[in-house]
Structure 1
Amino acid sequence: MNENEKPLEEAAETEENSAEEKKSVDELIEEAMNAAAGEDTESDEDDAVSEYNDSASEYAELEEQLSEANDKYLRLYAEYDNYRKRTAKEKADTYSNASAKCIEELLPFIDSFERSLDTECTDEHFKKGMDMIFKQLQDFLSRMNVTEVEALGAEFDPNVHNAIQQQEDTDYAANHVCAVFQKGYRIGDKLIRPAMVAVAV
């Protein structure tokens, strides 16, 4: 090898080494970028998982709070509904008891009125006036939901009949009311006064 070819060979080797070094640097840069990208991906995934867990925990907490609030509402509504029903019943009972007491005090006057109508009267105008007044009284009792207790001919019922005697009577079956001495009354389903009766045997 002559002296002129030696520098050319050295230059070629230098260029080859530079190319290898450049390739090595490029590979290192690419590896670094890939590693960084991988770390970013893992970091994003970790952040997403963490955010999801936080959201799930918050949702569960809100769901529990909603369930507790709903339970409180249902209990409060049930208490209010019971209170409303109780007060409505108490109001109805108070009105019914007051009405029953008023009618009970009125019954002796009704009894006397009926007995007076059974008495013979020669004054037709007076009798007609009494009949009209009694009709108005009966209309008032009807509006107050007051009814007579079924008695004559009915089977004896100790809940609504007060038997003061027993007697033989072929017109009525045994254990049936054969005579009424005093009418009984009820207001709605509430008994005001039992009927005073005789029972056939």
Structure 2
Amino acid sequence: EGVAEPDEDDDAGENSSNPADRDSGDAADQDSGDSVDMTSDRSLDDDASPDGPVLGTEDEGPPEEDGVADMLAVQTKFDELNDRHLRLAAEFNNFRRRTEQQRLELWSRAQADLVEKFLDVLDDLHRVADLDLSNATVEGIMEGIDLVEKKFVRVVADTGMEMIDPVGDAFDPERMEAMMRVPTENEEEDDVVAQVFQKGYTLKGILVRPARVSVHKHG
């Protein structure tokens, strides 16, 4: 009896006003969130714009400049190789000239050494030619000539030259030249050297001159 009952109108007013306020607040918060999301989307769109810079890339320069640099590098390499080629060609030509000059010098030296060995024989021939025939005999002259011949043969042998004197040997077309054929009744003498007209010579296995001979021919 002494307790006052709550006013139903006041409670109804509070209950009726609170949901509306909450709804309007929620709507405002949602609008604010949508606004933030739209702003973020526009920022992302601006970053992805083709006119803007691409993230994670570097400025590589115009393609024309890269092509010019490559051409200059190739030209430099070509110049280096060409210079090396010219140097090698010049060195090879110098080497060839030196080799040819050395070969000629060696050949001339060998000829000089060979001629030197025959000088003593030439001196002996001069002595024979200068003999006083009034005081010389035929036997003495022939003996002197025989000595000169033996000395000459010895000098020739020292150079590596060998004489081909094939009397009685089988005919060898590699070392002999048949000047004529001599008929024979003996079958065993067929193709055997009958006579040597001119002796042949070889120098260290190389044929210098073939022996000129006559050959027996059976039948």
TM-score (norm 1): 0.47
The structure with the largest alpha-carbon Rg is 2
TM-score (norm 2): 0.44
Counting helix residues as a fraction of each chain, which structure ranks higher? 1
Relative contact order: is structure 1 or structure 2 higher (C-alpha 8 Å, sep ≥ 6)? 1
